[in-house]
C-alpha cells in the first residue's frame, strides 16, 4: 500500500490524544499524590467503565490475540476467560479497595499492603515485585505502538523512533495531568477501539467469505485446518498444562493500575456499576480474533504472527480503514501503557523512596511526576527497542512474577492471621523459584514457571504466618470491617473500638 492516508490518520490520533490529555488537568495543581495519583477520587461510572475497559484491553487486542489465533488457534481463548474474570474481580473487590482508599488514605496498592501489615519494608517489596509485571506490560504496549508507526509509515519511522515518539507523547500529558489524563484519554481511546475493531472484523469477514458474519470463517478453518480448533492448537506447542496454568497465574495477578483505577472512583457504587457493565466492552476482542483465524488460510506464510491483522488489512481493505486500524491499535497500546507507567512511578515514589528517605507526602507527589521520565528513558524505551520475544509471552512472564504477591491479598481480604513475615517469606521464595523456572529451566513439565512459584510461595506463607506475630488486632479489624463484614471482633478489641468511637 503506497497511500499516505493511514499514516496521517494514525498521527492525527496521537495529536488528539495529546490535546485531550493536556486539557484533562483543568487548571488543578498536580503535585499531590491524591490529585496526580487518583484524580481526587472524582471519576464517575461512564469514565470509570471506559478507564478500566480500555486499560485492560491492550495491544494484544489488535496484535497479540489475533497473532495467537493465527499461530495456535483456540489457545487464544484464554483471553476470554481472563477478561471475564477481571470483570468479576472488579465487581467483588473494587468497592472494598475503594473503601480502603477513601477511609485510610491509600493511593497505591502497596500503600494498602503497608498499612494492613504495618510494614513499610513489605510494601516496598510488593511494589518492586509488582513493578516487574507492570514494566513488562508497558514494554509490550510500547513495542506494539512502535510497530504500528513502522508499518503505517512504510518503514520511514523505524522502531526506535516510534518508541521515542509514543513515549514522549505519553510522558508530556501524564506529567501534566496524571490520572485525569489517563481517564480522559481512555474514554476517547475506548470508544475508538470498539468501533474500529468491529468495522475491521466484519469487513474482513465479508472480504474473506462474502458474508457479514463470522460463522463462514470457522467453517473454512474446520475444513482446511481443523487442528487449530482443538488443544494443543495448530502450533502443537500449547499443552493443556501450560494453557491452564498460564490462565491461573494471570487470574491471580492483582495488577497495581487496576487498584489505582478503583480508588479513582467517586464511590463504591460507581465501581460496582462499572464492573457490572464491563463484560459488554470485552466483545471488542472477538472480531480481532476472527481476523487471526482468517489469516490461517489466507496468509499462510506470514513471518510474524502478531502482524496478521495489519497485513490482512493492507492487502484487502481500503486505505481509510487501514488508517483507522492503525489509530485503533495505537489507542489500545497507549491506553494500557499509560496506567502501568503511571502506577510504577507512583508506587516507587510513595512506597519505596518515601519511607526510605523519610520524605513528606508533598515531596513524594512531586517526585512521582518526575519519576516517569527516567522510568521511560532508562528502562521501558531500551527494552522496547530491543523487541524481546513475542507480545503475549512477554505478558504471561510478567504476570508470573506479579502473581507472587498473592499472599498479601489473601491476608487483606480472607485471612486475618496472615503476617508481614509470612507474606514476605512467601513472596521471596516464590520469586526465586519463578526466576529459576523461567530462565534456567523454563516451565518444567509444561507448567508455567509462575505457577511453580506459587506452589512454593503459598505453603511458606502459611507456615511462617503461623510462627510469627500478626499485625495489631485493631488494624486487622479495621480492614476486615470492610473486607469481610461478617468478621467477628474479639470482645476486648470491640470495647476498645467502641470507646475510641465515643471519644
Question: Average pLDDT in the 405-434 region?
Answer: 93
Q: Confidence band (pLDDT; 50, 70, 90) for 492?
A: very low
C-alpha cell, 240: 493443556
Of 286, 288, 331, 320, the closest CA to residue 306 belongs to 288
- For CA atoms 244, 249, 250, 254, give the dihedral sign: positive
Query: What pLDDT, in 10s, does the model give residues 423-435?
Result: 999 999 998 898 8
Residue 158 has φ and ψ, to the nearest 5°, of -65, 170
pLDDT band, very low/low/confident/very high, at 118 (cuts 50, 70, 90): very high
* CA–CA–CA angle 497, 500, 503 (5° rounding): 150
- DSSP-derived 3-state class of residue 497: helix
Average pLDDT over residues 262-271: 90
Question: What's phi and psi for 358, nearest 5 deg?
Answer: 55, 45
CA angle 60, 62, 68 (to 5 degrees): 60
Q: Which stretch of 71-80, 181-190, 213-222 has the lowest confidence by average pLDDT?
A: 71-80
Spell out the domain ranges in the chain: 4-387
User: Residue holding cell 490462565?
Assistant: 247
Query: Any residues with CB less than 8 A from the CB of 213 and at least 6 apart, and which?
Result: 205
Pick among 1.20.120.1200, 1.10.10.60, 1.20.1730.10, 3.30.750.24: CATH of 4-387: 1.20.1730.10
Beta bridge pairs of residue 43? 265
Give the tens place of pLDDT for each residue, 300-346. 888 888 889 988 998 999 999 999 998 988 888 887 788 899 999 99
Which residue(s) pair with 265 in the sheet?
43
User: For residues 306 and 238, what is the distance between their CA atoms, to the nearest angstrom?
Assistant: 17
Cell numbers representing residue 19 in the block: 490535546
What integer pLDDT is reported at residue 167 of this predicted model?
Answer: 93
Q: Mean pLDDT across the stretch 417-446?
A: 88
What is the average pLDDT score of the chain? 86
The Cα–Cα gap between 25 and 36 comes to 9
Amino acid at each position: 500500500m503506497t497511500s499516505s492516508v493511514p499514516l496521517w490518520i494514525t498521527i492525527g490520533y496521537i495529536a488528539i490524544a495529546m490535546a485531550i490529555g493536556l486539557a484533562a488537568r483543568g487548571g488543578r495543581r498536580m503535585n499531590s499524590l491524591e490529585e496526580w495519583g487518583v484524580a481526587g477520587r472524582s471519576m464517575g461510572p461512564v469514565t470509570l467503565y471506559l478507564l478500566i475497559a480500555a486499560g485492560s484491553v491492550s495491544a494484544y487486542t489488535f496484535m497479540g490475540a489475533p497473532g495467537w489465533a493465527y499461530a495456535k488457534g483456540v489457545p487464544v481463548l484464554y483471553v476470554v476467560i481472563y477478561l471475564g474474570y477481571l470483570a468479576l474481580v472488579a465487581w467483588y473487590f473494587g468497592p472494598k479497595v475503594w473503601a480502603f482508599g477513601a477511609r485510610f488514605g491509600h493511593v497505591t496498592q502497596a500503600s494498602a499492603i503497608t498499612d494492613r501489615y504495618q510494614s513499610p519494608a513489605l510494601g516496598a517489596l510488593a511494589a518492586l515485585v509488582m513493578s516487574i509485571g507492570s514494566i513488562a506490560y508497558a514494554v509490550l504496549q510500547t513495542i506494539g505502538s512502535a510497530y504500528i508507526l513502522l508499518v503505517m509509515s512504510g518503514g520511514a519511522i523505524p522502531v526506535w523512533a516510534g518508541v521515542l515518539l509514543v513515549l514522549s507523547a505519553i510522558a508530556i500529558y501524564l506529567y501534566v495531568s496524571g490520572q485525569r489524563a489517563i481517564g480522559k484519554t481512555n474514554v476517547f481511546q475506548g470508544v475508538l477501539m470498539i468501533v474500529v475493531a468491529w468495522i475491521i472484523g466484519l469487513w474482513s469477514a465479508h472480504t474473506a467469505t462474502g458474508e457479514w458474519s463470522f460463522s463462514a470463517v470457522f467453517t473454512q478453518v474446520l475444513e482446511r485446518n481443523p487442528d487449530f480448533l482443538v488443544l494443543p492448537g495448530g502450533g502443537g506447542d500449547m499443552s493443556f498444562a501450560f494453557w491452564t496454568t498460564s490462565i491461573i497465574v494471570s487470574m491471580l495477578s492483582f495488577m497495581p493500575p487496576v487498584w489505582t483505577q478503583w480508588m479513582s472512583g467517586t464511590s463504591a457504587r460507581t465501581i460496582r456499576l462499572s464492573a457490572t457493565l464491563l463484560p459488554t466492552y470485552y466483545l471488542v476482542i472477538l472480531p480481532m480474533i476472527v481476523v487471526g483465524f482468517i489469516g490461517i488460510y489466507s496468509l499462510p506464510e506470514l513471518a510474524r504472527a502478531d502482524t496478521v491483522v495489519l497485513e490482512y488489512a493492507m492487502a484487502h481493505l481500503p486505505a481509510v480503514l487501514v488508517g483507522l486500524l492503525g489509530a485503533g491499535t495505537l489507542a489500545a497500546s497507549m491506553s494500557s501503557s499509560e496506567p502501568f507507567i503511571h502506577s510504577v512511578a507512583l508506587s516507587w515514589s510513595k512506597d519505596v523512596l518515601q519511607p526510605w528517605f523519610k520524605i513528606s507526602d508533598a515531596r513524594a507527589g512531586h517526585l512521582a511526576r518526575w519519576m516517569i521520565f527516567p522510568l521511560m528513558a532508562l528502562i521501558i524505551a531500551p527494552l522496547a527497542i530491543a523487541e524481546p520475544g513475542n507480545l503475549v509471552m512477554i505478558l504471561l512472564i510478567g504476570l508470573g512474577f506479579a502473581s507472587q504477591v498473592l499472599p498479601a491479598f489473601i491476608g487483606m481480604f480472607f485471612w486475618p492471621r496472615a503476617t508481614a513475615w509470612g507474606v514476605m517469606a512467601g513472596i521471596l521464595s516464590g520469586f526465586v523459584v519463578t526466576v529459576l523456572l523461567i530462565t534456567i529451566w523454563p516451565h518444567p513439565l509444561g507448567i508455567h514457571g509462575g505457577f511453580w512459584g506459587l506452589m512454593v510461595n503459598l505453603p511458606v506463607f502459611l507456615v511462617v504466618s503461623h510462627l510469627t506475630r500478626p499485625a495489631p488486632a485493631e488494624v486487622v479489624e479495621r480492614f476486615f470491617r470492610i473486607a469481610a463484614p461478617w468478621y467477628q471482633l474479639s470482645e476486648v478489641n470491640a470495647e476498645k473500638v467502641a470507646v475510641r468511637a465515643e471519644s
